[in-house]
Chain A
Amino acid sequence: DIQMTQSPSTLSASVGDRVAITCRASKTINILLAWYQQKPGKAPKLLIYKTSTLQSGVPSRFSGTGSGTEFTLTISSLQPDDFGTYYCQRYDTYPLIFGGGTTVEIK
């Protein structure tokens, strides 16, 4: 199975900072990759699908890029509500695999 590795595992940044989270696949995958945000005690929320398409209602400060084996979620200007854990997920084939998560803390 293709594994998904996220980095960093945690990051601490200030409001207004530009933040980037990377997701690396163990083999080349196509663009069927999604990003989720999960807050403590809550279900995940879909942010981006198909590598770069913003889900309806998600603020435009979130963006996704990537191809091949490396994908990035960028928050252009970190806001207080952006704390939580972010997961990537490939869905080009089965099994569907999530990355290990990146916890974002606000300084």
Chain B
Amino acid sequence: EVQLVESGGGLVQPGGSLRLSCAASGLTFTAYWMAWVRQAPGMGLEWVANIKQDGSVIHYVDSVKGRFTISRDNAKNSLYLQMHSLRAEDTAIYYCARLYCSGGTCYGAFDVWGQGTMVTVSS
């Protein structure tokens, strides 16, 4: 069974830092782009960042550029999101997600999701 399990969320003060992790199992991790998607309380979904299989290509939403860093460790089947200079508006559930791939081509739709980890930025 394909499984993504996030960890690392919690309460952090504005301006603080946090590192999220996502442990993947049941899939060939190196075959997939991976992503972080977030959802503020009571709100809709917001894509945060994507990373290519080998880490060579990365995309971010503008609101986190320069503050967040997505990375992966293929030897550990793990995805990370390092977050700095956190703001109240970063408060959200952060989901780890796998990008759908077919026939060797990966698309920007997300076919496997973790259960999410909550990040609360508040003083």
For the complex of A and B, 5 pairs with smallest distance between CB atoms: A91-B108, A43-B113, A34-B109, A96-B47, A98-B45
B62 partner residues in chain A, CB cutoff 8 A = 95
> How many B residues, CB 8 Å from partner?
19
* Chain A interface main SS type: loop
Q: Say whether B103 faces chain A, with CB atoms less than 8 Å apart.
A: no
* Chain B interface main SS type: strand
Q: List 9 A-B contacts (CB under 8 A).
A: A34-B110, A38-B45, A44-B45, A46-B109, A49-B109, A89-B108, A95-B47, A95-B62, A101-B45
A95 to B111, alpha carbons, bound, how many Å?
18
Chain A interface residue bracket vs B: 20 to 34
Q: Are A95 and B61 in contact (CB under 8 A)?
A: yes
Question: Which residues of A does B touch, CB under 8 Å?
Answer: 32, 34, 36, 38, 42-46, 49-50, 55, 87, 89, 91-92, 94-101
Q: Say whether B55 faces chain A, with CB atoms less than 8 Å apart.
A: no
List 20 additional A-B contacts (Cβ < 8 Å) besides A97-B47, A101-B44: A32-B108, A32-B109, A34-B109, A38-B45, A43-B95, A44-B95, A45-B113, A46-B109, A49-B107, A49-B109, A55-B111, A89-B109, A91-B107, A94-B59, A95-B61, A96-B47, A96-B108, A98-B44, A98-B46, A101-B45
